[in-house]
Amino acid sequence: MLTIPFPTVLSANVENWWLDARTKSGGETIDGREQVISSGLGRWRATVTIPLFERPRILAYRSWLIRMDGRSNLTSIGPCDCANGNTIAPLIGGIPYSDGAFHTDGAGFSQGGNPAFVIDPVAVGSTSIHIDLGGTTLVPVTGSFVGLGGYLYVVTGFTVLPGEEGLITVLPKLRTALGENDPVEWCHARAPMRLLTDDTGQFELTLGRFGTATIELVEVF
C-alpha cells in the first residue's frame, strides 16, 4: 500500500466532510423506543468535486487516479476550509523597547508568525492536548478543522492557560500518539484517505478540455 501525493495543482469547488459515527442500536421496540450508543469507531468520509480544465490539471488528475489503483493505495487530503479555520498571527518585526529605542544593531523585537506545537506527549485515544500557541495571539475557534500527527480533527473546545499556552479538545479521539514539539496544523489539515469504491472519481471531458470529477473517500487508520 502506497501513499500517492494529491496534486497541488488541483482544488475542490464543492466538498463535504463528515464523521461517519457508526452508532449501534439494539433495535426499536414496539412502542417506538430505541437506545443508540456510539461505537467510538467513527471514520472521516468525504465527497469532493474537482473541476478539470487546462491541460496540467487534467493530466495531473488522470495520473493521480490511475496511481491510486482503486482502493489499493492512500492519499493525504483534507478540507479546503481555511476561510473558516484558524490562522497564525502575522510576523511583525522592528518592534522597539518601551522607550522607542532598538537593539544596538538597529534591529527590533519580533512577534507572531510562529506555528503552534504540542507541549506534552499525548496518548492514542486522548481528546485533550496541551499546546503552545507559538507566541501568537491566536485563540482556536470551536468548530474549526485542525491537523495533528497527520490526521484530521475538529476543535470542540479551548481553555486559555498562562504563557501563550492552551488546552485544546478535539474529536474524534486521537488516531496516533503525539510527541513533544509535534506541530499543530490550523489551516491545511490532512488525513490518510482511500477511495470508497474502485470506480469512484471517473470523469468525462467535453471537447477534451473541460470536465468534473467527483471523488468519494474514506479515512484509513
What are the extents of the domains in the chain?
Answer: 14-23+37-78+192-219, 112-187
For the stretch 29-54, what's the b/e string if a residue is b when 16 or more beta carbons lie within 10 angstroms of its beta carbon?
eeeeeeeeeeeeebbbbbbbebbbee
- Joined together, the cell numbers standing for residue 163 give 504563557
Q: Looking at residue 65, what DSSP letter applies?
A: H
- Joined together, the cell numbers standing for residue 209 give 478540455
User: What is residue 64's three-state secondary structure?
Assistant: helix
Single out the residue of 195, 164, 207 nearest to residue 75, CA to CA. 195
> In degrees rounded to 5, what are phi and psi of residue 64?
-60, -45
Alpha-carbon span 67 to 44, nearest angstrom: 22
- 50 close to 215: Cβ distance less than 8 angstroms: yes
Q: Which fold has domain 112-187?
A: Elongation Factor Tu (Ef-tu); domain 3 (2.40.30)
Alpha-carbon span 111 to 26, nearest angstrom: 56
Predicted TM-score (pTM) of this structure: 0.81
Per-residue pLDDT in tens (0 to 9) along the chain, 221 residues: 899 999 999 999 999 999 988 777 777 778 778 787 777 778 999 999 999 999 999 999 999 999 999 999 999 999 988 777 776 665 455 556 666 666 656 565 544 457 789 999 999 999 999 998 876 656 788 899 999 999 999 999 999 888 788 899 999 999 999 999 999 988 889 999 999 999 999 999 898 888 999 999 999 98
